[in-house]
Structures are given as structure tokens and as C-alpha cells.
Amino acid sequence: MRRSDLDAARHANCTRYVEWALEPLPGEWLETHRPVRLELVFRRESLAGDVVLSRAQRLGSGDGALGWAHQLVREPDGAELAQAATWWEPLSPGQPGVASQG
């Protein structure tokens, strides 16, 4: 964890959890889709010095939904810090994706 990830109380800023959740998504996905919905459930705080592992898995559904399930875990004890789900839509040609913004 970087110092810039921390708030004044030396806890991870909640917006960092969103960034960390998106980190394992393939670059090609981020360049061709944009997020339309995010649900995030905080389970535990993250403190200075913690090592956070971010996992993501595609969600499958019969209705063609484009979603991912995310999990943030503290190493080495495996404590779950957060769970998230994201839903995405394909971009139109020439429309910038998440990876090309900012």
C-alpha cells in the first residue's frame, strides 16, 4: 500500500478500494467497455503496511450481462477486506474506455 492510499487516520481511503477492485481486469476489457454500475461491500479496514490482493472473476448470465465479481483480501492472513460487483457496457467505436482516461 502506498502512503497516497491512506487518509489522515492511516486507513486506506475508500476510493482506493474501487481502484484496487478494478486492477486485475484485462487492459483490453477496460479499453472496450465502460462501467455502468458498482456495488461495494466493505468488510474490514485496511491499514498502513497491509498488502492487499485483488481478485476478479467474470460473471456469467443468460441475459448477456457483462459483469465481474471482485474480492480484496489482506495478505498473509487472508482476511477479506471487501467484495464488489461491477457491470459494464461495450463502448461505441472511438469512445474512450476506462484505460484511456485519466
In the chain, the domains with their CATH numbers are: 3-92 (3.10.129.10)
Tell me the C-alpha to C-alpha distance, in Å, between residue 53 and each of 21, 35, 44, 69: 9, 21, 14, 14
> Would the pTM of this model clear 0.85, i.e. be above it?
no
Q: pLDDT tens for residues 13-48?
A: 678 889 999 999 999 999 989 999 999 999 988 878
